Amino acid sequence: TLFISPELPQDTLFERRWYGRLADNSNVYPVPSRSSAPVRNVGDGYLFATVINRLQKDSGETWYEINPGEFVHADDIQLAQVSDFQGVETTSQPVRPFGWVVEEVRPSSGSDVEPDIDVEKLPRFTFVEIYDAVQGEEDWIWYDIGDGRWVRQTYLSLVNVDPRPQGVGEDEFWTEVDLYEQTFAAYEGDRLVYATLISSGLNRWPTNEGLFQVWDRFREYKMSGAEGQVDYYYLEDVPYIMYFDDHNGIALHGTDWHDRCGYKHSHGGVNMPIKDAEWTFNGTAEAPNDLWGWVHTSDPKAALQDT
């Protein structure tokens, strides 16, 4: 099998942590009771806490402990539904582009053809390989995903094997972030060994392009930004952080607060599903070189020649 799902390591953080979004201006208490004086108010913003305990009181109230000795009422926190999506390892070099459905779609029998309502829809995260590509009306590219099924490019995020960027050694480990496709690939020299979906920066906070090296890493650490502004955020215990753009504090990292990989969604960082960030973090910890990261915008029309 060319594409396989890797096993989680024994010390994985996945499903070993609860995360929750705090409501604006929530009070934090020293004990699970609103009759006690709060120790602080969280203010407003995009605020995520790590939940370390759940308490059900005899009164029926539910409380969550977010730090030792800090409690919030269940009304003031919404537990995150962490994505269980994971990309793929490759056992040999892929011979054609591949990727995932990022929005539920019913395939067509050809380019610019309305789908047959009797054809089963493909759910989000369906894995596909690309066998042909043609340019249809309005310049959209249509992809043949096999068995006579065609899908317009807007429903897919794809990975293609790319050559090493200049400056990366032939035996070095490097990663690729494709801002157009919103995909990630990891390589050992010239061989692609892993791929997945990511979310890079929204247009307002773009992820910088270029060739970088990871300069610091944390298994778990906080992230915050835009203090005093309407888009202020504070995220406790972000998993598997790998900082690469030292000028802007941008990192590859796991993401527990959204499930939008395949689309731009961040403040500039490269958001990854937790399992994929974990694979990258662990797999590169003992790499013979500082981890390279190549961030670029691919040309989708190249697929018209590559397929």
The SS3 assignment for 274 reads helix
Number of helices and strands in the chain (H, E)? 2, 25
What is the percent of the chain with per-residue pLDDT over 70, rounded to a whole number? Answer: 98
pLDDT value of residue 307: 54
pLDDT value of residue 274: 98
pLDDT value of residue 290: 81
Please say if the pLDDT value at position 52 is more than 70.
Answer: yes
pLDDT value of residue 217: 93
Would you say how long the chain is, in residues? 307
* Span 270-287, pLDDT tens digits: 999 999 999 999 988 777
Higher-confidence residue of 301 and 162: namely 162
* Span 221-233, pLDDT tens digits: 999 888 778 789 9
User: pTM value?
Assistant: 0.94
Please name every residue paired with 272 in a beta bridge, in sequence order, or none if there are none. Answer: 254
* Span 183-195, pLDDT tens digits: 999 999 999 999 9
* Span 117-136, pLDDT tens digits: 999 999 999 999 999 999 99
Is-contact 270 260, C-beta < 8 A? Answer: no
Is-contact 133 143, C-beta < 8 A? Answer: yes
pLDDT value of residue 211: 96
